[in-house]
Amino acid sequence: MARTVAIANQKGGVAKTTSTLALGSALSEAGKRVLLLDLDPQACLTFSLGIDPEIVSDSIHDVLAGRIPLGKAIQQLVEVDLVPSTIDLAGAEAYLLTRTGREYVLRNALEDVAPHYDFVLLDCPPSLGVLTINALTAADEVIIPLQCEALAHRGVGQLLETIEDVRRITNRSLNVAGILPTMYDGRTAHAREILENVGKRYELHVFSPPVRKSVRFAEAPTAGRSILKFAPSHPGAEAYRQIARSLL
């Protein structure tokens, strides 16, 4: 049965999608069967794997709306398998709010496909709405990408409160795997201080090494590949490989 990992932080721009794709690619490199789910209506993960969201026929929106089983939406790609997203997913929140057991829709949808994978990674939207709650309810564990800047971790406490609510109500076994430091600039004392203090502040594991800031991360999606395939020897690619090994 797959380990299901939600990559979550309600703040945008902290490298959730980059981390989901890079970790998925690194786990695949390690010989694991990996499925990625794009749960963001902006469909950045879908685009980052070279798929035009505007021409996707079967997406995670269709799954959550009950039109198709999740297996029908899976696309088998070179690096990983993907359930893509489209802008239609923006309407899923309103639809799910009318459903009984709305928090469990994704968990139930995953039941049939999870035995075929070693890891399922969930790329969450930048919010704490019903899509993120679905991801947390379906997940075994959560990884929190965190930009190494003071303002970036102000919302982590709110996310941890939501995780506690999920543990209490819909998923008692949910575990926080740790904080994944991203966009790290070791040349600044500020970034080093944030990195040093964040684990103590939230009493959480901090993955190592921190992923350093680089323009190569912005370039990789235009090629439809992860940083591991776009620039295999880049320090960022190696950082994600090391973090993936720690997950194994």
**What is the per-residue pLDDT across 89-115, written as a single tens digit (0 to 9) for each?**
988 888 888 888 999 999 999 999 999
E strand intervals along 124-231: 141-147, 175-182
What is the C-alpha to C-alpha distance for residues 106 and 122, in angstroms, rounded to an integer?
A: 10
CA 218 to chain centre: 17
Cα 109 to Cα 65, 67, 71, 82, 214: the distances in Å are: 11, 11, 9, 14, 36
* pLDDT score, position 197: 80
Tokens of 201: 């502040």
Instruction: Say if CB 52 and CB 43 are below 8 A apart.
Output: no
**What is the per-residue pLDDT across 29-67, written as a single tens digit (0 to 9) for each?**
999 999 999 999 999 999 999 999 999 999 999 999 999
E strand intervals along 124-210: 141-147, 175-182
Overall number of domains in the chain: 1
Q: Residue 34: enclosing H or E segment and its boundaries?
A: strand 34-38
**CATH code (residue 109):** 3.40.50.300
R_g over Cα of the chain: 17
Confidence of residue 155 (pLDDT cuts 50, 70, 90): confident
State which residues form the domain around 83: 3-247
Look at residue 179 and tell me whether its pLDDT is greater than 80.
Answer: yes
Share of the chain above pLDDT 70, in %: 99
Confidence of residue 177 (pLDDT cuts 50, 70, 90): very high
Could you tell me the pTM of the whole model?
Answer: 0.95
